[in-house]
A and B are shown apart, each in its own frame.
Chain A
Amino acid sequence: MHGRVKVKSTAQQEEEKRKEREKKLKAFVSARDAVLRKRSAGEHDEEALQLTQQLLSSNPDFATLWNYRREVLLQLETSREKDEVQKLYESELHFIEACLKVNPKSYGCWHHRSWVNTRLPQPDWTRELGLCDRCLSLDERNFHCWDYRRVVVKESGVSVEQELQFTDRLIGSNFSNYSSWHYRSTLLPQLHPQPAPDSASNTSPSPTASPQIHSHRVCEEQLLKEYELAHNAFFTDPNDQSAWFYYRWLLGRAEREEMISCVYVSRERERVSVAFSKPVHAQSEGLMLVLDGQPQQVEWRSTHPRLRHSPVWLCDLPPGSVSDISNEHNLTVHWTEKYTHRDCALYTGCAESWCRDSATDQELFRSELSVEKSSVLQAELQSCNQLLELEPQNKWCLLTIILLMRALDPLGHEKETLAHFQTLKEVDPMRSSYYSDLCSKFLIENTILKMEYAEVRVFSLSNKNLTTLCHLDQLLLVTHINLSSNQLLRLPPQFAMLQCLEVLEADDNAIESLEGLYHLPKLEEVSLRNNQICKLSDLESLASCTKLTRLDLRGNPVHKTANIDSELSQLLPLVTALSL
């Protein structure tokens, strides 16, 4: 359609071809000019229909001509009887079908066809459904046709069962049918909805939630049948992604409850740090801070100017309100938009306090696939492992096994998971960066879980081939972090969420950017040996970390900068121990 197929031919054949194309072009241009002239003259007659037909037959994407054609047809309607109008539009449907043969994915054609059905005194939905069947048999993934089919189904009242059977037929004849599987995922919850869950625990349900309308989940009995269907598909053809994606949808993705996950209070800085379960825009969320029963006028700010939507927000308490360490205080943060809140008590003699839901309790890192009972997940893991024995290099199988293991027991399966990632990078090297990043994410999750279990505020993940950082909102309370000997390229703005950080070790990476080391109020010591910090400007944000006294920059290209010693002491006057 866009290019021209190169065919070897003699000079004479070339010349003949050229002449023919010139002729075609001339005919097209004169017809086009004639049509546009008629249009501006406001002529709505048979000739307009003929000209547009001629042009659209070879160029059905010429949208303006369909617009014109509709104007003409509407005009003609006014002078015709009902049965003539029926005939007029029926022949229009024939014409559209011919155009669809030229380009089955023409927006103009499908739109015009929908329009014609609104003008037909008696639309024939059976025929329209038949057209969809035929188009889909030629191209199963023609989304224009799928959209049109949905309209036809709705207008003609075809039942969900019938459509489900339709997907049965398509999938049965060819498992590689992404669109059919997808369509199935929209039909099943309508036919076999999951019954409404019991009322929620500590928060009142949101007024807009409605399980009937908003749940896209399927009841268990039907799910088990669907698992079998998916098994059949990927055991038959393990390399086709459609069934694997459907399978992942079946295994489910839990909706995470919206809540305040952590409130941290610092007496010294008279500051409150709040972590939410998802990125928010604090000013739009109806946040209210109550101190000892009194609502406080506070202004919320993000930890970094680049993060206008962030899971972590800060505010300053009125001066003197909590600074006296002999006083006890009770703080509550209300998230009025979500009808939830979190309390935090600041005890006498304590310089700081926090209240946090553990990631373990929240099953935070299992929400990838967590709707099912573990017995079901275990059975699915077994099936996939069986397939892996037959197809040890199948990437879909490997990835699904990793996800199942994480849903069941992230820490227990850590070793196996790392081994599978290694295999994945070997069998699918084009996506090795994706696997490295995903593996990094899972390792970070596991480290957070281990840190919680040990009840410490030290996060250590060195020499683990980390390529990216994530879940930084979960590290709000961390005081010491060790990321040495990895493959990190930057400390992104999100790093500024580590509001309690005192010591950072990130030697032996490839770090170029320190954007996230921004207004970290407790940061005292930073070691960035053997990284890729090149310019003085890369270190600018450190000036905002006013407690920083020790900085190790040995083994970075920046040491070659002219007068680097004096430049740095100007930029960071508070740093007393500087190594270059």
Chain B
Amino acid sequence: MTATLFSPNTLLLDKHADYIAAYGSKKDDYEYTLSEYLRMSGIYWGLTVMDLMGQLSRMNREEIIEFIKSCQHDCGGISASTGHDPHLLYTLSAVQILSLYDSINVIDVDKVVDPFHTLFGVAGLSLLGDEQIKPVNPVFCMPEDVLQRIGLQPDLLN
């Protein structure tokens, strides 16, 4: 991409902010509807830019928070939009939005972060031979080198 003679060389911040503020209201827009599968991320991208421009207050905080609440599923994961399946990408976007709004507790935080599943997931990858993860002891679910260092060995029950 090369700059042409007529490209502006300053950021037209007000215009950018106006565009984003108006974007969410285009509910009868074809592209808007088709991009529903990434709505949560789209909201995040818009909000974070508005925040950078100091214009976050122009966005509808209450509506967005209600929307996020409606997107959390029983498993704890969050979907891109109501009725869609939960996914890591949109869970992250939702958490990012709630951080911007300092409202992380409107969702079930404990369910979003399941430390046992995360730990088991990583251990599982290691046991399956993922080279980028340290060898993990399948009994203790901890890295082998840590166990060696602290001298922990499983005792077989008689």
Q: Are B85 and A28 in contact (CB under 8 A)?
A: no
> A280 to nearest B CB, angstroms?
15
Please, what's the 1-or-0 string for A196-223, where 1 marks a CB less than 8 Å from any CB in chain B? 0000000000000000010000000000
Query: Is A21 an interface position by the 8 A CB rule?
Result: yes
Q: Are B33 and A64 in contact (CB under 8 A)?
A: no
Chain B residues with CB under 8 A of A213: 131
Chain A residues with CB under 8 A of B149: 286
Q: Are B85 and A67 in contact (CB under 8 A)?
A: yes
Chain A residues with CB under 8 A of B154: none
> A577 to nearest B CB, angstroms?
45
Query: Is A6 an interface position by the 8 A CB rule?
Result: no
Q: A25-B33, A28-B34 are in contact. Are A63 and B85 (CB under 8 A)?
A: yes
Q: Give the interface centre of A22, A32, A64 by most chain B CB atoms within 10 Å.
A: A64
CA distance A519 to B145 in the complex (A): 35
Chain B residues with CB under 8 A of A40: 83
Q: Are B28 and A64 in contact (CB under 8 A)?
A: no
Chain A residues with CB under 8 A of B28: 22, 25
Chain B residues with CB under 8 A of A286: 149
The residues in A between 226 and 241 inclusive whose CB is less than 8 angstroms from any CB of B are: none
Q: Are B34 and A59 in contact (CB under 8 A)?
A: yes
> A425 to nearest B CB, angstroms?
19
Please, what's the 1-or-0 string for A21-51, where 1 marks a CB less than 8 Å from any CB in chain B? 1101100110010001001100000000000
Residue of B nearest to A61 (CB): B37
CA distance A63 to B38 in the complex (A): 9
Residue of A nearest to B134 (CB): A208
> B121 to nearest A CB, angstroms?
18
CA distance A407 to B31 in the complex (A): 53
CA distance A28 to B34 in the complex (A): 8
Query: Is B6 an interface position by the 8 A CB rule?
Result: no
Query: Is B84 an interface position by the 8 A CB rule?
Result: yes
Q: Are A64 and B37 in contact (CB under 8 A)?
A: yes
Chain B: interface residue total (CB-CB under 8 A) = 17
Q: Are B34 and A64 in contact (CB under 8 A)?
A: no
CA distance A421 to B149 in the complex (A): 49
From B29, B30, B85, A64 is in contact (CB under 8 Å) with B85
Query: Is B111 an interface position by the 8 A CB rule?
Result: no
Query: Is A4 an interface position by the 8 A CB rule?
Result: yes
- The binding surface of chain A is classed by DSSP as helix
CA distance A61 to B31 in the complex (A): 13
Q: Are B30 and A63 in contact (CB under 8 A)?
A: no
Query: Is A183 an interface position by the 8 A CB rule?
Result: no
CA distance A24 to B31 in the complex (A): 11
Q: A25-B28, A286-B149 are in contact. Are A63 and B33 (CB under 8 A)?
A: no
Q: Are B31 and A64 in contact (CB under 8 A)?
A: no
Q: Are B33 and A28 in contact (CB under 8 A)?
A: yes
Q: Give the interface centre of B29, B33, B131 by most chain A CB atoms within 10 Å.
A: B33
Query: Is B87 an interface position by the 8 A CB rule?
Result: yes
Q: Are B79 and A24 in contact (CB under 8 A)?
A: no
The residues in B between 116 and 139 inclusive whose CB is less than 8 angstroms from any CB of A are: 131
Query: Is A365 an interface position by the 8 A CB rule?
Result: no
Q: Give the interface centre of B34, B36, B79 by most chain A CB atoms within 10 Å.
A: B34
CA distance A2 to B38 in the complex (A): 12
Please, what's the 1-or-0 string for A58-81, where 1 marks a CB less than 8 Å from any CB in chain B? 110111100100000000000000
Q: Are A36 and B83 in contact (CB under 8 A)?
A: yes
CA distance A39 to B29 in the complex (A): 25
> B62 to nearest A CB, angstroms?
24
Q: Give the interface centre of A25, A40, A286 by most chain B CB atoms within 10 Å.
A: A25
Residue of B nearest to A4 (CB): B31
Q: Are A63 and B37 in contact (CB under 8 A)?
A: yes
> A282 to nearest B CB, angstroms?
15
CA distance A4 to B36 in the complex (A): 17
CA distance A58 to B33 in the complex (A): 12
Q: Are B30 and A21 in contact (CB under 8 A)?
A: yes
CA distance A148 to B70 in the complex (A): 35
> A152 to nearest B CB, angstroms?
20
Residue of B nearest to A3 (CB): B31
Q: Are B30 and A25 in contact (CB under 8 A)?
A: yes
Chain A residues with CB under 8 A of B37: 59, 61-64
CA distance A58 to B37 in the complex (A): 13
Chain B residues with CB under 8 A of A39: 83
From B30, B84, B85, B131, A24 is in contact (CB under 8 Å) with B30
From B33, B38, B79, B83, A29 is in contact (CB under 8 Å) with B33
> B130 to nearest A CB, angstroms?
13
CA distance A58 to B85 in the complex (A): 19
> B95 to nearest A CB, angstroms?
19
The residues in B between 23 and 43 inclusive whose CB is less than 8 angstroms from any CB of A are: 28-31, 33-34, 36-38
Q: Are B87 and A63 in contact (CB under 8 A)?
A: yes
> A283 to nearest B CB, angstroms?
12
Please, what's the 1-or-0 string for B52-90, where 1 marks a CB less than 8 Å from any CB in chain A? 000000000000000000000000000110011101000
> A211 to nearest B CB, angstroms?
15
CA distance A490 to B156 in the complex (A): 59
Q: Give the interface centre of A4, A62, A67 by most chain B CB atoms within 10 Å.
A: A62
CA distance A58 to B30 in the complex (A): 12
Chain A residues with CB under 8 A of B83: 36, 39-40, 64
Q: Could you list 15 A-B pairs, sorted by A, with CB under 8 Å?
A: A21-B30, A24-B30, A28-B30, A28-B33, A32-B36, A36-B83, A39-B83, A40-B83, A58-B34, A59-B37, A61-B37, A63-B80, A63-B87, A64-B79, A64-B85
Q: Apart from A32-B33, A64-B85, A213-B131, list 4 A-B contacts with CB within 8 A.
A: A28-B30, A59-B37, A61-B38, A62-B37
Q: Which 5 A-B pairs have the closest CB atoms?
A: A36-B83, A64-B84, A64-B85, A62-B37, A25-B30
Chain B residues within CB distance 8 Å of chain A: 28-31, 33-34, 36-38, 79-80, 83-85, 87, 131, 149
